Amino acid sequence: MTATLETNKTRAATSAVYAVLVAVASCHMINDTLQAVLLAMYPMLRDSYALTFTQIGLLTMVFQVTASILQPLVGHFTDRNPLPYSLPVAPAFTLFGIILLAMASSFTGLLVAAAAIGVGSAIFHPESSRVARLASGGRYGMAQSLFQVGGNAGTAIGPLLVAWFILPRGQMSVVWFGAIAIGAIVILGAVGRWYSEHLAERKTQQATALVHHGLSSRTVVVSLAILIALMFSKFLYMTSLGSFYAFYLIDHFHVAVKDAQIYLFIFLGAVAVGTFAGGPIGDRVGRKAVIWFSILGSLPFTLLLPFANLFWTVVLTVPIGLILASAFSAIIVYGQELLPGRVGMVSGLFFGFAFGFGGFGAAALGALADETSITFVYQLCSVLPAIGLLTVFLPSHDRLKSVT
């Protein structure tokens, strides 16, 4: 009888944990869907406001840099002062940004909307990533992958929503997407209650995690710098596709705007699949092995992409998305293992740097595209994954096992 009760308790606990993981992944999908709606509207906004590529890049920069500045600060603060009920505040900011985006009548209004959406991301990512780790049951890579694949799925869905819903109805129709932001507020309110009830468990995990892994402070700092460089290379390349891929297809191959959004969805869908696969594989074979694969596997395809015809361009973006994205979860969990007990700060740092690099990179690439061409930008970006060769200097997975 006692054994049966224990088994039932275990099943209930497991069910609750996976319910939380699905909840934060779903809200990540909503968060990133709304971000992607902004990015996917760029061709429409370019025509409506006569925007240059530099202005398109500035929109991405404002959105991503706003998020990058705040995320490490939010993560550092909540490591010391947990705020379970801060989670619903994130989609509230995003909702505000979506309403502004629908009503904007000038480039300045678009910038303010992008900044509000960026603030929502900054608040959402560190605490949600921490909740995913707390609910992981020790399978950190799996949990981080599930959390991130929600975001990637949202990023992939965004262009389809723009193609099928917003393009036929116009800019004001964006306001209807506020309904899913309200849904995220409700879901994250429930997650906040679960998180609040499990704060004692979180403190116990932190105390356990503070066991030192034996690496010197210098090794930890160098390793973190290498991981940030990897995030730079990956996110700048992803930004070049996310912000300018549709324009590349339209200007270089003369495809229709709607078709360009569908091709962008194919790439972003591949990113979602790669993200989900990378975490569990990293749990089994080690984070460093997954990071190596993402570099050596993607580089040949990125080098070929600028010289391919339309058919092969679309085909090549599939392995690029799959392989590049496979390392995202591995990089974040590896960083969390380097700084045990600082989950929020590490998550905020990596997401923040990723958004910041992507934002400044988008502005620079937009200006470069105005001066040269979109084709030249893709030729230049094709070598970015090679920065990942710095992985050779990372400590092996075995040296970090004591904190997993």
Quick count: other Cβ atoms within 10 Å of Cβ 400? 23
| Domain ranges (residues) in the chain | 10-403
Which three-class secondary structure state does DSSP give residue 351? helix
Q: Which one is predicted more confidently, 317 or 151?
A: 317
Three-class HEC string of 252-278: HHCCCHHHHHHHHHHHHHHHHHHHHHH
Question: Quick one: pLDDT at residue 213?
Answer: 56
Cβ atoms 233, 387 nearer than 8 A: yes
Mean pLDDT over all residues of the chain? 81
Residue 23 corresponds to which amino acid?
A
Q: What is the pLDDT, as a whole number, of residue 182?
A: 95
102 has a pLDDT exceeding 80: yes
Q: How far apart are CA 136 and CA 230, in angstroms?
A: 25
Residue with more model confidence, 404 or 253: 253
What pLDDT score does 78 carry? Answer: 74
Q: Is the pLDDT of residue 231 over 90?
A: no
Mean pLDDT, residues 116-140 taken together = 84
Superfamily of domain 10-403: MFS general substrate transporter like domains (1.20.1250.20)
The DSSP annotation for 105-155 comes to -SHHHHHHHHHHHHHHHHHHHHHHHHHHHHTSTT-HHHHHHHHHHHHHHHH
Interval 29-59: pLDDT, tens: 999 888 888 877 888 888 888 888 889 888 8
* CB-CB contact of 44 with 257 (8 Å): yes
214 backbone φψ class: left, alpha, beta (φ>0; ψ -120 to 50): left
pLDDT at 9 over 60: no
Residue 61 has pLDDT above 50, yes or no: yes
Whether the Cβ atoms of residue 378 and residue 248 lie closer than 8 Å to each other: yes
Q: Which tokens sit at 272?
A: 């979602």
Do the beta carbons of residue 122 and residue 74 sit within 8 Å? yes
User: What pLDDT score was predicted for residue 89?
Assistant: 92
- The whole-angstrom separation of Cα 299 and Cα 280 is 23
Say what the pTM is. 0.67
Distance of CA 121 to the CA centre of its chain: 10
pLDDT tens per residue, range 247-287: 889 888 999 888 888 898 898 888 888 877 877 777 788 78
Q: Is the pLDDT of residue 95 over 50?
A: yes
pLDDT digit string (tens) for 192-223? 889 888 776 555 555 444 445 567 888 888 88
Task: Find the range with the poorest average confidence among 158-172, 272-286, 290-304.
Answer: 272-286
